[in-house]
């Protein structure tokens, strides 16, 4: 495939193109997985990002669109279904993971569900995300719920373990029942422009995932420039990533709206080039309902409503659900409940 825009992708100003012409979502609709494509270095190297223009555009996202009252409550219920409820702490135990999974299955108190009239909606989180070693515990706890287990693999968070070790970890997570694998790329490949090595690495992980969907964590806070973020996003998608994800949550800078704008524009570009939709997962530092709504505005404006469904969008978060519950409680009762009434686990 040759580069369609050899002069560089237009991220310098507001992109006048509409969101991709994706069919409207209907119950049960699905897309085929992204199969990837051969590495096209012309297309990768054509990516150029103007940081000032991206930051100006990102600054408008919270102000151009707002939702209030019952519409905000509906958007927040949607946001719950998009959360990969996550525990990635050094003191994780099987007990913590079981409680996390119970929360993923029943994210709202029964009383609050009744007050919102949401009892029949079957609201659950999008996935439970845990360390590789705790995948069997999570799989057992979620059995029969339909909620997938996502495992962070490949030497999370640094991704610097020997390659055979990382590949084995992916295969073991899949064998243990993980249906989604969050892999970590080698950031050094991006920083040195070793795009062939990055492509081969991600392709190898994709092959090891088999039928499990793969989210490629780029570690965007470590990539130095937005141009690197854009190029790494494109290479990961060419290598077959089902999702591209910002961060491990352990970097100094994690998900931000400017970084997200670049990544979703790359998703748009890849979709227009290949016809294959790729999902997006911002992760790290998303803790408030207000911030979650800003990311939903971004997806609505840049990619359209179809990218606001769990198969194409997830939040990687641990504390976000608590604030969404508090906002929904305020909508239902006119006051904020104490934090202990929305325990995470």
Q: What tens-digit pLDDT sequence spans the chain (345 residues)?
A: 333 333 334 443 345 455 656 554 444 567 889 999 999 999 999 999 999 999 999 999 998 878 999 999 999 999 999 999 999 999 999 999 999 999 999 999 999 999 999 999 999 999 999 999 999 999 999 999 999 999 999 999 999 999 999 999 999 999 999 999 999 999 999 999 999 999 999 999 999 999 999 999 999 999 999 999 999 999 999 999 999 999 999 998 999 999 999 999 999 999 999 999 999 999 999 999 999 999 999 999 999 999 999 999 999 998 899 999 999 999 999 888 777 776 665
Contacts of 26 (CB under 8 A, 6+ apart): none
Cα separation of 317 and 236, whole Å?
22
Q: Tell me which residue of 192, 216, 188, 189 sits closest to 202, measured CA to CA.
A: 216
Residue found under tokens 């994709």: 206
- Tens-place pLDDT, residues 134-186: 999 999 999 999 999 999 999 999 999 999 999 999 999 999 999 999 999 99
3-state secondary structure of 328: helix
175-219 confidence digits (pLDDT tens): 999 999 999 999 999 999 999 999 999 999 999 999 999 999 999
CA 165 to chain centroid: 25
pLDDT over 70, % of the chain = 90
- Structure-token match 């800003």, residue found: 294
Strand partners, 283: 316
The string of DSSP codes covering 300-320 is HHHT-GGGGSTTTB-EEESSH
H helices present in the chain, as ranges = 41-45, 51-64, 69-81, 94-105, 110-116, 135-141, 163-175, 187-191, 195-209, 226-238, 257-274, 289-302, 320-333
Query: Taking the model in full, what pTM does it have?
Result: 0.91
- pLDDT, residue 66, reads 86
The pLDDT assigned to 85 comes to 97
pLDDT value for 179: 98
The residues carrying an active-site annotation are: 182, 245, 281
Please determine, looking at this structure, whether the domain spanning 41-341 carries the CATH number 3.20.20.70: yes
Residue 105: alpha-carbon gap to chain centroid: 19
Output the pLDDT for position 345.
55
Is-cis flag, bond preceding 139, omega within 30? no
């Amino acid at each position: 495939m040759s580069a369609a825009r050899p002069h560089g992708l237009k991220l310098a100003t507001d992109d006048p193109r509409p969101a991709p012409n994706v069919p409207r979502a209907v119950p049960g609709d699905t897309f085929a997985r992204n199969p990837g494509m051969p590495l096209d270095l012309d297309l990768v190297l054509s990516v150029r990002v103007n940081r000032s223009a991206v930051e100006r555009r990102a600054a408008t996202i919270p102000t151009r669109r707002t939702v209030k009252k019952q519409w905000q409550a509906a958007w927040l219920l949607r946001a719950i279904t998009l959360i990969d409820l996550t525990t990635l702490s050094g003191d994780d135990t099987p007990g913590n993971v079981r409680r996390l999974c119970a929360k993923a299955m029943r994210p709202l108190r029964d009383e609050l569900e009744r007050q919102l009239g949401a009892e029949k909606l079957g609201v659950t989180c999008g996935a439970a995300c845990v360390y590789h070693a705790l995948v069997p515990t999570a799989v057992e706890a979620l059995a029969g719920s339909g909620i997938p287990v996502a495992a962070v693999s490949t030497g999370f968070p640094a991704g610097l373990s020997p390659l055979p070790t990382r590949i084995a970890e992916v295969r073991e997570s899949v064998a243990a029942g993980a249906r989604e694998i969050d892999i970590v790329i080698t950031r050094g490949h991006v920083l040195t422009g070793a795009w062939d090595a990055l492509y081969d690495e991600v392709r190898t992980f994709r092959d090891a995932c088999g039928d499990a969907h793969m989210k490629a964590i780029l570690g965007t806070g470590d990539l130095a420039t937005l141009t690197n973020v854009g190029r790494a996003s494109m290479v990961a998608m060419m290598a077959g990533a089902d999702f591209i994800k910002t961060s491990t949550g352990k970097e100094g800078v994690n998900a931000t709206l400017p970084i997200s704008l670049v990544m979703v524009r790359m998703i748009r570009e890849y979709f227009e080039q290949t016809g294959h939709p790729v999902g997006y997962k911002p992760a790290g530092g998303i803790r408030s309902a207000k911030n979650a709504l800003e990311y939903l505005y971004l997806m609505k404006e840049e990619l359209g409503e179809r990218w606001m469904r769990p198969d194409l969008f997830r939040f990687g978060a641990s504390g976000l659900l608590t604030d969404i519950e508090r906002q929904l409680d305020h909508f239902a009762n006119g006051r904020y409940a104490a934090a202990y009434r929305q325990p995470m686990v």
